[in-house]
Amino acid sequence: YPYVWLDATFPKVREGGRVQSMALVIAIGVTDTGEREVLGFDVGTSEDGAFWTDFLRGLKERGLRGVRLVVSDAHAGLRQAISEVLTGATWQRCKVHTIRNVLSQVPKKEQSMVASIIRTIFTQPTQEAAREQLRRVVAELRGRFPRAMAILEEAEEDVLAFMALPFEHWRQICSTNPLERLNREMRRRMDVVGIFPNRASVLRLA
């Protein structure tokens, strides 16, 4: 499974006499021949490093190997878990989530303009050209949107990681979008339930 996507949804679960949001994490992988498969899922009280490490170890024990790129949002603890468990794999920070994070620091009336400028980074033909364009964008907009550009500058290494892999795969591996349809269906069914009575009921639905 050279490419693996990880994402989380947050059902409300009753535990210990109170209701809390828990993380339902899902992993999807693509085989060498291009088939997409759900590799596993689990529920935890948070997305900390220990939970991610246990989850990834479980996948590895069941046969996950050959991972070149792991695509996810910037979940707390995940990068450390990847480096510990999936030795040699690179982390790709989801392009879509990164752009949203940047735009959250931009006034609403100017978000469309800033988004258009940021997208020019990802239309470059090579990783090096994309790096140069990112730095030009940061230099151009830093004076007006310093917090937004700090997020973009910090994300450079991770949000452009996909460009080191075959060009024909770029569209699929730059974000967690391949998981979105599954997550939308999960959320739709969770909304019907509302509050789950326990973790086991979340896993049964999944």
Report yes or no: 134 and 152 within 8 Å, Cβ to Cβ.
yes
Q: Which residues pair with 24 in a beta bridge?
A: 9, 43
Rg of the Cα atoms in the chain: 18
Closest CA to 95 of 65, 76, 115, 68: 115
Q: Topology of 1-94+176-206 in CATH?
A: Nucleotidyltransferase; domain 5 (3.30.420)
At residue 180, the pLDDT reads 83
**Average pLDDT for residues 98-110, to the nearest whole number?**
96
At residue 117, the pLDDT reads 97
pLDDT tens per residue across span 106-137: 999 999 999 999 999 999 999 999 999 999 99
At residue 73, the pLDDT reads 87
Q: Indicate the DSSP class of residue 83.
A: H
Report yes or no: 14 and 197 within 8 Å, Cβ to Cβ.
yes
Backbone angles phi, psi at 60, to 5 degrees: -65, -40
Which residue has better confidence, 79 or 38?
Answer: 38
pLDDT tens per residue across span 8-56: 889 999 998 899 999 899 999 999 888 999 999 999 887 678 899 999 9
Q: What are the domain boundaries of the chain? A: 1-94+176-206, 95-160
Report yes or no: 69 and 28 within 8 Å, Cβ to Cβ.
no
